Amino acid sequence: MDDLFVSAIVVVVTAVIVAAIFFITGKKKREKEAALLQLAQRKGWRYEKVNQGKHTGFILRAPKWTLESLVYSDYRTSEVGSSTVAYHNRWLTDRVSSTHGLVMIGPKLPHAQLGALNSLMLRKALQLMLGDEADQAASLVEMQVGRSSFSERYSVWAVNQEGVEQVLTYNLENALLRWKGKELPVLKFSAAGAQISTRHGRLDSVEQVQEMVDLGMAVLAG
């Protein structure tokens, strides 16, 4: 009887703790959503909440750009406890483009003396950062541009020097050097427009969203 009583107490206490965790987590999530909505209203942006099964997050729309912060969750019922979660944060505009082929600016890629293996690793890293345009990785060449403080943090890849000169302005270089986020952004410029992206975690704070928008405004300012 005593064992049953103790077991019942453990079950009740566990249930209370789990309920408290869900309540606190839900409250924090609602507070962050409210803060983002207030930011959007204050700035004149349109806020759209996304909750479509496997896709959750939000989209911000302004006259010259769109920002998406989405989480893709794939829970496989055939495999117990198996799930895949991917984060997609993208700022997009069609007001700025590259007329000299694809240009990509991203985190500094290491250059180890590994010959062909190093080249293969670099191409794989480029393909990962390029995403939908990974098939163009083979045509890109690393360009030595910018100040030393910039080249220490970022790599610039392009088809030719003209493309880099068109999109990497002094203003944009300064904005990239001011970036405070732990994950450095990836910028892509093509004939279709410009895009800024990060993939390690969602944008769920006013500060993170504002930093992404500020960098986007530097892209627009040229």
Q: Which residue has the tokens 């500060």?
A: 207
Q: Are 67 and 91 in contact (CB under 8 A)?
A: yes
The order of strands in the sheet holding 141-143 is: 46-52, 55-62, 65-76, 82-93, 193-198, 186-190, 103-107, 154-158, 141-143
Instruction: Please indicate whether residue 105 or residue 14 has the higher confidence score (pLDDT).
Output: 105
CA 69 – CA 95 distance, rounded (Å):
20
**C-alpha–C-alpha distance, residues 192 and 44, integer Å:** 25
pTM of the prediction? Answer: 0.78
**What is the distance between the alpha carbons of residues 162 and 181, in angstroms, rounded to a whole number?**
29
Instruction: List beta partners, residue 189.
Output: 103, 194
Is-contact 88 212, C-beta < 8 A? no
Which residue's structure tokens are 């989480």?
71
The pLDDT of residue 54 is 84
Output the furthest CA–CA distance in the chain (Å, rounded). 82
Arithmetic mean of pLDDT, 108-123? 56
Q: What is the pLDDT of residue 78?
A: 44
Count of other CB atoms within 10 angstroms of residue 174: 12
Q: Give 21 or 31, the one with higher predicted confidence.
A: 31
